[in-house]
Copies of this chain bind each other. A is one copy, B any other.
């Protein structure tokens, strides 16, 4: 399986349009100490020809132009090698890209029941006025991932329900309510390589921690370094877990768990512009690397 990290930042990207925090400053100053990052999205393919997007970020246009395998085939005027989009939740930074794919055939979107409902609220009427959507409820047990034409992709997939919150634009729900966030495990049928895609998880519960070793590549939620990061950076008051993200550091943080994990590729993604692991020479970056983990960057590729 070929895995391409199209974007690796959380909502807003790095730098964020209205942010002058330490990280965003370094992303703009030309020093190379922080690489600019677009909003998180991944492309996967078993055969290098038929691709599946994991989330569709608002930066999808530039992400497609930066990766030729996602560009239209040469044998007709319009078309796309993108077979479907698998979304983990309905947050805008994971789904606004769907509206940017509106000029083509009906989109095939894999999303949990709750996320389908949320997407109906946020963009259902817009998508229906253009390409329309064919919704697929992802399986909870491994099943073949099919291409648009029904042909096998060479991959199996399953959705993993994760602790998380409903999107901010859905009223009447609270943080921690279930069924709004999933991750995906995708397995290459030929090589057996297993990708575990978990870009947003509010907590690392025992059941989730037990799943992590059963992967060959792990893309994990790297949104925040610390629980009170937004407040510490002077840009907000909401905590990491209130926003649906387990922090990297700390007693309940993900790094302690990932450090002990025997998985070939352990990669943080969906990284917020306030997170100091983005700074190439920071102590936080060194701590991540000392644990055998990698801070994901746009254009990074894995093969499993």
Q: Which residues of A contact B (CB under 8 A)?
A: 11-13, 15-21, 24, 28, 36, 58-62, 64-65, 68, 70-74, 76-80, 92, 96, 99-104, 121-122, 125-126, 129-130, 168-169, 233-235
Residues of B within 8 A of A19 (CB): 72, 77-78, 103
- Contact yes or no, B130 A18, CB < 8 A: no
Q: What distance in Å separates the Cβ of A172 from its nearest Cβ neighbour in chain B?
A: 12
Residues of B within 8 A of A12 (CB): 103
- Contact yes or no, B18 A104, CB < 8 A: yes
A interface, over-half SS: loop
- Contact yes or no, A168 B235, CB < 8 A: no
Q: Which of A15, A36, A78, A168 has the most CB of B within 10 A?
A: A78
- Contact yes or no, B126 A20, CB < 8 A: no
Contact of A80 among B15, B18, B59 (CB under 8 A): B18
Complex Cα–Cα for A122 and B125 (A):
8
Complex Cα–Cα for A64 and B36 (A):
13
Q: Which residue of B lies closest to A104 (CB)?
A: B18
- Contact yes or no, A36 B65, CB < 8 A: yes
Complex Cα–Cα for A131 and B36 (A):
24
- Contact yes or no, B79 A18, CB < 8 A: yes
Contact of A17 among B64, B73, B122 (CB under 8 A): B64
Ordered by A's residue number, 29 sampled pairs between the chains whose C-beta atoms are within 8 Å are A12-B103, A13-B61, A15-B71, A17-B65, A17-B71, A18-B72, A18-B101, A18-B104, A19-B72, A19-B77, A20-B71, A20-B74, A20-B76, A21-B78, A28-B71, A36-B65, A58-B99, A58-B100, A59-B61, A59-B62, A77-B234, A77-B235, A92-B102, A96-B96, A96-B100, A121-B125, A122-B125, A125-B169, A129-B168
